Amino acid sequence: MSHKQRSARAPDADPTPLPHGMLAEIARRRGILLCLDYDGTVSEITPDAANARPVEGIRTSIERIASASKQACVAIVSGRRIEEVKRLLGIDSGILYSGVHGLEFTNANGEASFVSDVAECAAELARVRQWLLGHVPDSRGFRIEDKVASVGLHYRQAEASEAAELRERFSEFVSANAPRLKLVQLKMIDEAMPRRANKARAVELLKARKPRAFATIYCGDDSTDEDAFAALGHDDVSVLIGAPRVTRAVYRLPDPAALGVELSQLAEAVTRRDGRA
C-alpha cells in the first residue's frame, strides 16, 4: 500500500478516504510522528469550547501509541494554550504539545514556553488587547480571549450585523496599528497573532526533535491546518478530519470518531510490536 504524500498538491483537489489500517502499516515499517489538532480532530466541535472533551476511546489510544516510543511519538498541535489542551485531554506527560498556532511548545520536562516572536510582538499585542477592551461591548454575545501570544474576538453569540461591523473595525485597527501581527479568521473567532505563527512551523520544530526516519502523519480539520498539510514531505501523510472541502490534505476521515477507530488500530499495532499488547 503506497502512502507517499503527493507533492505540490492543488488546494482544490478532493481528498481520498484514508485506507483503513494505513497508519498502522506505516508505523510498523518505519515509525511515525503523529501530529493531531485538538478541536474537531481529537474532540468534536462544540459551542461549549471550555469543555470540549476527547471522543470516546481516543485518549487511551493516544497514551498507548505514545508508550511505544521506539515506533511512535504523539504531538498535539493546537491553537489553544498548552495548559488548556492538557486539561481537556487529560494527558500531562509522555507526548509533545504545541499551542497557540506554533507559538508555544513543551520541552523535554513537559514545561511550556513561548517562542521569541511573542516577546518581539508584546507591545503590539498589548495595543490590540487595549483596543478590544475599549471597543467590545459587554453582554452582547462577544468574548475576548487572551492567550498571551495572541488575542481573539469570539462572536458566536453576537448578532450578525453587529458582529460584522465590529470585526471590520478590529481588522482595520490591527492592519493600521500592529504591523508585526496578522488577523486570522477562524471558526467564529478573529485572532490577532505574530505573523510567523502557523502550524507548518510547529510541525517543522517538532520533527527536528524526533528521528529523521519517522514519517509525519498530520490530522486536522480547519484552515489553520492547511499550512501543515502543504509543508509535509513525500513520505508523510496529511489527513483532513470532517466533511469534504477544498484542502491540501491528501486523505480524509469523516469525523473524530473515525479517527478514533484508526488510532485504536494503530495503538494495537505499535504496542504489539513493542511487546506490550
Alpha-carbon distance of 86 to 224, in angstroms, equals 20
Q: Which of 224, 237, 268, 257 is nearest to 41 (CA)?
A: 257
Q: Residue 68: how many CA atoms within 13 Å on its side-chain side? A: 26
- Helix, strand, coil: what percent of the chain each, to 5? 35, 20, 40
pLDDT at position 12 over 70: no
| Distances, alpha carbon 215 to alpha carbons 11, 181, 207, 244, 260, in Å | 22, 32, 9, 24, 20
Residue 74 backbone phi and psi in degrees, to 5: -115, 135
pLDDT at position 4 over 80: no
- Is the CB of residue 219 less than 8 Å from the CB of residue 259? yes
The structure's pTM equals 0.91
Q: Which of 65, 1, 9, 2 is nearest to 233 (CA)?
A: 9
For residue 167 the three cell numbers come to 470585526
∠255-233-112 over CA atoms, to 5°? 70
What is the pLDDT at residue 170? 98
What is the pLDDT at residue 10? 64
Alpha-carbon distance of 95 to 65, in angstroms, equals 10
pLDDT at position 11 over 80: no
What is the pLDDT at residue 210? 83
- Is the CB of residue 157 less than 8 Å from the CB of residue 141? yes
pLDDT digits (tens, 9 = 90+) for 193-250: 999 999 999 999 999 988 778 999 999 999 999 999 999 998 999 999 999 999 999 9
